[in-house]
Chain A
Amino acid sequence: MEERRRLSILITPSAIFMLVLFVLPLLIMVVYTFRQGSFGPTSRIFTLAHYHDFLSDRALQGLLWRSVVQSFWISLISVCLAYPVAYHLSFQAGERKMTLLTIIIVTAWVSFLLRILAWKVLLGGSGAIASLAQSLGLSEEGMPFLIYSQEAVNLTLIYVWIPFVALPIFAGLERIDPSLHEAAYDLGCSRPEAFVRVTLPLSLPGVVAGFLFVFIPTVGEYVTPSLVGGTTGVMFGNIVRDQFVRALNWPLGSLMSLAMLIVVLIPLVIAARLFKFSDLAGL
Chain B
Amino acid sequence: MKLQAFVSRSVLFVLLGMFLVSCGGGQAEGDGKLTILEWSGYEATENPDFFGPFVEKYGETFGDKLDYIFFAEDAEAYAKIQTDVAADLVHPCNSWWQLYVDNGLVQEIDTTKLSNWSHVNPALAAMGQFDGKQYFVPWDWGYESMLVRTDLVPEVPTSWADLWDPQYAGHIALWDSGEANYAMTALAFGIDPWNTTPEDDEFIKQKLIELKPNVLTYWSDYTEAYDLPQTGDAWIVVNAWQDAYANADSSGYAVEYVQPAEKRLGWVCGFGISPNTADLDLAYEYIDASIADSSMAALANTYWYGPSNTNALADIDPYVVEFMELDQAASIQERTSFYRPITEEQRQIRTGIWDEVKVSQ
Within B51-87, the residues touching A (CB, 8 Å) are 73, 75-76, 78-79, 82-83
Q: Which of A16, A60, A231, A243 is the one whose CB lies under 8 Å from B217?
A: A231
- Residues in B neighbouring A246, C-beta threshold 8 A: 73, 75, 177-179, 347, 351
- Residues in B neighbouring A40, C-beta threshold 8 A: 82, 103
Structural contact, A245 and B217, CB atoms closer than 8 A: no
Asked if A267 CB lies within 8 Å of chain B CBs, one says: no
B127 CB to closest chain A CB (Å) equals 22
Structural contact, A231 and B352, CB atoms closer than 8 A: no
- Residues in A neighbouring B232, C-beta threshold 8 A: 125-126, 142
Selecting from A86-94, A164-172, A210-218, A234-242, the interface stretch reads A234-242
Q: Which of A12, A24, A144 is the one whose CB lies under 8 Å from B6?
A: A12
Structural contact, B348 and A249, CB atoms closer than 8 A: yes
B62 CB to closest chain A CB (Å) equals 32
Known A20-B17, A144-B216, A239-B359: A247·B352 in contact at CB below 8 Å: yes
User: A246 CA to B354 CA in the complex, in Å?
Assistant: 11
Asked if A148 CB lies within 8 Å of chain B CBs, one says: yes
Interface size class, chain A = 35 or more
Structural contact, B231 and A15, CB atoms closer than 8 A: no
Residue interface bits A125-166, CB-to-B below 8 A is 1, else 0: 110000000000000001010011000000000000000000
Structural contact, A60 and B359, CB atoms closer than 8 A: yes
Asked if B340 CB lies within 8 Å of chain A CBs, one says: no
Of B82, B176, B217, most A-chain CB atoms within 10 Å: B217
Structural contact, B9 and A12, CB atoms closer than 8 A: yes
Structural contact, A226 and B351, CB atoms closer than 8 A: no
Q: Which of B14, B82, B83, B358 is the one whose CB lies under 8 Å from A19?
A: B14
- Residues in B neighbouring A4, C-beta threshold 8 A: 1
Within B4-36, the residues touching A (CB, 8 Å) are 6, 9-10, 13-14, 17-18
Q: Which of B10, B233, B348 is the one whose CB lies under 8 Å from A247?
A: B348
Asked if B335 CB lies within 8 Å of chain A CBs, one says: no
Structural contact, A38 and B13, CB atoms closer than 8 A: no
User: A15 CA to B9 CA in the complex, in Å?
Assistant: 11
Asked if B115 CB lies within 8 Å of chain A CBs, one says: no
Asked if A8 CB lies within 8 Å of chain B CBs, one says: yes
- Residues in A neighbouring B18, C-beta threshold 8 A: 20
- Residues in A neighbouring B360, C-beta threshold 8 A: 59
Structural contact, B212 and A247, CB atoms closer than 8 A: no
Asked if A185 CB lies within 8 Å of chain B CBs, one says: no
Asked if B355 CB lies within 8 Å of chain A CBs, one says: yes
A150 CB to closest chain B CB (Å) equals 11
Interface size class, chain B = 35 or more
- Residues in B neighbouring A247, C-beta threshold 8 A: 75, 178, 347-348, 351-352, 355
User: A63 CA to B357 CA in the complex, in Å?
Assistant: 12
Within B330-356, the residues touching A (CB, 8 Å) are 344, 347-348, 351-352, 354-356
User: A211 CA to B101 CA in the complex, in Å?
Assistant: 50
Asked if B302 CB lies within 8 Å of chain A CBs, one says: no
B360 CB to closest chain A CB (Å) equals 7
Asked if B215 CB lies within 8 Å of chain A CBs, one says: yes
- Residues in B neighbouring A63, C-beta threshold 8 A: 359
Of A59, A62, A238, A246, most B-chain CB atoms within 10 Å: A246
Asked if B218 CB lies within 8 Å of chain A CBs, one says: yes
Asked if B167 CB lies within 8 Å of chain A CBs, one says: no
**A contact residues vs B (CB 8 Å cutoff):** 4-5, 8-9, 12, 15-16, 19-20, 24, 37-40, 59-60, 62-63, 124-126, 142, 144, 147-148, 226, 229-232, 234, 238-239, 242-243, 245-249
Known contacts A38-B82, A226-B218; 7 additional CB pairs below 8 A are: A8-B1, A39-B83, A125-B233, A147-B233, A234-B358, A239-B359, A243-B351
Q: 3 closest Cβ contacts across the A-B interface?
A: A247-B351, A230-B217, A39-B82
Q: List 21 A-B contacts (CB under 8 A).
A: A5-B1, A8-B6, A12-B9, A16-B14, A19-B14, A39-B79, A59-B359, A60-B355, A62-B359, A148-B216, A226-B176, A226-B220, A230-B217, A231-B217, A242-B351, A246-B177, A246-B347, A247-B178, A248-B78, A248-B347, A249-B348
